[in-house]
Structure 1
Amino acid sequence: MEPPSEIAVCTFLQRLIPRRSGLRRAIALSTLAGCLSITALGLTSGLQPAPLQASDHDDGDIDVRSRALSLTDLYVFREIDQNTAARAGDLILVLNTNPRSLARQQYYFSSNAQYDIKIARVANVNNAPVPQPDLTLRFTFSPPNKGNRQVVTLTTIDSSGQTSSTNTTTSGGRILTTSITDAAPRLNTVRVRGANLTVFAGLREDPFFFDVEAYFRVRAAVAGFGPAASFRSPDTALDFTKGYNVNTIVVRVPQQLLAGGRAVNTFDLWGTINIRDPRTGQFTQVEQIARPGINELLTTGSQTIYETYNRTQPARFNSSDSTVIRNNITAVLKLVGNNDTRANALVRALLPDVMRIDTTVPSGYGNKFNALGSPAAGRRLLDDVVDASLNIVTNGAITTDNVSYNGTPGNPAQGHQPLATTFPYLAPPN
């Protein structure tokens, strides 16, 4: 089966739409249907998700959830594909939070939340997603000290429920976040289940890139609320994440630890945030992220769908609560011209929402698709997921939004700092 096409650009673009009430009121669900039918453009004018428990760059602050509880991106790649001098067999896991953090401002991880990276072992790259983790890496944070650092506790949880926690490095010190005023990143070596992990937590430059303003204009044009519009040329295109930071958790982990002593080369990963329910005292999942933007696509119908996604993906995807999600995405797929057979096949490819990585091939989003049509080679920091989506959805008619990580010479509205050449690889904070 060929990779997902019509659905892909809606997936990636919707994740980036800021929750601005005027736009939300203007764009109705009926417009979504019309927009999705215009597959040659690969554009969406969908109803915006209600501003609750969102998982993108620009969801803003709301009463029940701060930006520290907002996930932005998950990256998973072989370290040797980022650094040829790295040791073979190590994977890099990156979980980004706290979108649109301003330059030179100190931001913190929530001390009332659990930040989880969940890993499931996959027997065959062409198998359906594995929605139950075999291993969870859980990060919790103390309140900040006077040096603007937080103590990190790393807890591992296996499929049998056995846990092991530590807040101590192999040298005997505390696992600490890096303050924005630190001259160098604090790299914590941690012994976990017989293996050494390297942990970084703190502010770094947001590596994502996209001309979201041009997208707003094109979306408005498609919806009938503005003049004809298109993506701007490279010398005028604007990268909306330029100059912003994210709070990130970066982990170097030996593949053998994830494999659990088995001959496994493929893994499904996803990130979640859990917060304590004041009514029950129990922690509840309120955020989930894996492949870029799948969650935003699933919220085109109502706030209820969006909340159900964050609550159920992917571990409870077969529960009755998830029926509405499957029905919603199936309806959207039919709107873009898929018959029942193909729509159902794409649902199987996209859901449950996990990030799959086959470690036997070079890492990169779009480098490999499995038999279900799912990306199966993880995601590197410089992967242009927007361009990949535009290219797929339009059969090459539209190949780029004309924004890149490095930017276009002479265009001050583009360009990120060079990635670090060594762990944690993300560029220093602005």
Structure 2
Amino acid sequence: MSHHYSGPDFGFPHGDARLDLTDLYAFPKPSEAHKSILIMNVHPSAVVNPRGPTTREPFAPAASYEFKIDTNGDAVADIAYRVRFSSSEVGAQTAILRRVEGAEAAGTGDGGQVIIEAAPVSTGRDARVTEAGGYRFFAGWRSDPFFFDTRGALDDLQFTGDDFFIDKDVCSIVLEMPNSALGPKRVGLWARTLHGAGGVWVQADRGALPAQAVFLVGSEREAYLAGEPANDARFIAVFAHALEHAGGYAPEEARRVAGTLLPDMLTYDPTRPASFPSNGRTLTDDAADAFLAVLTNGKVTGDKVGPHIDLLAEFPYLGPPHNISVPSHATSPIATELCKASRRPGSS
């Protein structure tokens, strides 16, 4: 299911839904090609595994949400955009956006040049947008744009076109920026969440390409989510083994294909049209179909589900949320099945 529910047994990283990274998107701004849109979605509204709590508070005040940008091809961040949020205990949440470069971008912390501050977080249908210095910023609940027949995946890839995400919400961070702020024209992107409640920043989740976590279980998944793209070569053997099992690849071919999935970065050239997996990712790109084709070695190429129709033509592009008041435990009727399938490659 893209990168949703990346914690143990389809729970949440560190047991906190607000730290769960679901998807990353990057595409040129429609009608203004000199600008780009980056979208990080976190905090799924529906709990698949009841052991992972969720909350009405959109973002974790003790967390940092980061867009990471590699400008020279070494899979190490040269630019980072960091977003922190206030607590909702004293009212509505607000956000502060900072930019860091160089060695600081590759590290952890909450310093950096302030780009936007006191940006209101949206909890209703209306999108509250903040603008400053050539940037536009949105954070809050939105309709989840990801589309996939999860039940069909659990039924031995017998798809019927039943979109599990059609009425689900996520918390979105949407950033519009001039292309010049990205660095050179071709960059590598990923997103991550960090938790700092204990006084030390600990990476909870990270990713760029959809569905990578399904190749990993147990300690391997934990190591992957806590790792960095620059070190992803160590997971090629694990990915290759899963591809041999799920797609019937020969060992050598499985390793080759695994190498195309790592490092876990989204390649993006803002001077070219976006289309996953070759360049960035738009909100209508069928990433699930692309993943299925790789996973099954071309035996299954689609799940009969298409893009959602509630997308907007203007910033922040994501449709309004379906459920304004998100329950503490929005359980799913297929939760038990998903938990049982959590150790089966290709089950999400």
**TM-score, structure 1 normalization:** 0.65
- In the TM superposition, residue 141 of structure 1 has moved relative to its aligned partner by 0.4
Indicate whether 1:94 and 2:42 are aligned: no
CA distance in 2, matches of 1:61, 1:218: 25
Indicate whether 1:348 and 2:259 are aligned: yes
CA distance in 2, matches of 1:266, 1:65: 35
Q: Any residues of structure 2 matched to 1:7-26 within 5 Å, and which?
A: 15=3
Equivalent residue, structure 2, for 1:50: 8
Equivalent residue, structure 1, for 2:227: 312
Equivalent residue, structure 2, for 1:164: 112
Structure 2 vs 1, CA of residues 202 and 312 (structure 1 numbering), >3 Å: closer, same or farther? Answer: same
Pick from 156, 171, 177: which aligns with 1:218? Answer: 156
Equivalent residue, structure 1, for 2:159: 231
- In the TM superposition, residue 247 of structure 1 has moved relative to its aligned partner by 0.4
Structure 2 vs 1, CA of residues 397 and 282 (structure 1 numbering), >3 Å: closer, same or farther? Answer: closer
Pick from 130, 143, 148: which aligns with 1:205? Answer: 143
CA distance in 1, matches of 2:291, 2:44: 22
- In the TM superposition, residue 316 of structure 1 has moved relative to its aligned partner by 3.9
Pick from 162, 167, 175: which aligns with 1:251? Answer: 175
- In the TM superposition, residue 376 of structure 1 has moved relative to its aligned partner by 3.0
Q: Any residues of structure 2 matched to 1:148-187 within 5 Å, and which?
A: 149-161=92-104, 163-166=111-114, 168=116, 174-180=118-124, 184-187=126-129
Say if 1:106 and 1:179, in contact at 8 Å, map to a contact too.
no
Residue identity opposite 1:307 in structure 2: E
CA distance in 2, matches of 1:107, 1:310: 23
Say if 2:18 and 2:58, in contact at 8 Å, map to a contact too.
yes
Structure 2 vs 1, CA of residues 107 and 243 (structure 1 numbering), >3 Å: closer, same or farther? Answer: farther
Aligned length: 309
CA distance in 2, matches of 1:145, 1:79: 35
CA distance in 1, matches of 2:46, 2:296: 33
Equivalent residue, structure 1, for 2:51: none
Say if 2:64 and 2:84, in contact at 8 Å, map to a contact too.
yes
Equivalent residue, structure 2, for 1:326: 236
CA deviation vs aligned residue, 1:334-386 (integer Å, no higher than 9, x gap) = 44454555344333322111011122321011xxxxxxxxx330110011122
Q: Any residues of structure 2 matched to 1:276-425 within 5 Å, and which?
A: 276=196, 278=198, 281-297=199-215, 299=216, 302-317=217-232, 323=234, 325-335=235-245, 336-339=247-250, 341-365=252-276, 375-391=277-293, 398-405=300-307, 416-425=308-317
CA distance in 2, matches of 1:14, 1:388: 11
Say if 2:195 and 2:201, in contact at 8 Å, map to a contact too.
yes
Structure 2 vs 1, CA of residues 211 and 338 (structure 1 numbering), >3 Å: closer, same or farther? Answer: closer
Say if 1:100 and 1:241, in contact at 8 Å, map to a contact too.
no
Equivalent residue, structure 2, for 1:25: none
Equivalent pairs: percent with the same residue? 28
Residue identity opposite 1:292 in structure 2: P
- In the TM superposition, residue 397 of structure 1 has moved relative to its aligned partner by 5.6
**TM-score, structure 2 normalization:** 0.79
CA distance in 2, matches of 1:167, 1:359: 21
Indicate whether 1:188 and 2:90 are aligned: no
Residue identity opposite 1:348 in structure 2: G
CA distance in 2, matches of 1:285, 1:111: 15
Bigger radius of gyration among the two:
1
Residue identity opposite 2:88 in structure 1: P
SS for the counterpart of 1:189 is strand
Equivalent residue, structure 1, for 2:343: none
- In the TM superposition, residue 160 of structure 1 has moved relative to its aligned partner by 3.5
- In the TM superposition, residue 332 of structure 1 has moved relative to its aligned partner by 3.0
Residue identity opposite 1:273 in structure 2: T
CA deviation vs aligned residue, 1:49-82 (integer Å, no higher than 9, x gap) = 733xxxxxxx3458x42101111111111112xx
In the alignment, structure 2 segments of 5+ residues that lack a partner are: 48-54, 106-110, 323-348
CA distance in 2, matches of 1:119, 1:376: 17
Equivalent residue, structure 1, for 2:28: 78
CA deviation vs aligned residue, 1:238-289 (integer Å, no higher than 9, x gap) = 2101211100000001110111xxxx211100011111263xx320112001
SS for the counterpart of 1:155 is strand
SS for the counterpart of 1:166 is strand
Say if 1:153 and 1:165, in contact at 8 Å, map to a contact too.
no
- In the TM superposition, residue 14 of structure 1 has moved relative to its aligned partner by 7.7
Say if 2:99 and 2:115, in contact at 8 Å, map to a contact too.
no
Equivalent residue, structure 1, for 2:340: none
CA RMSD of aligned residues (A): 2.8
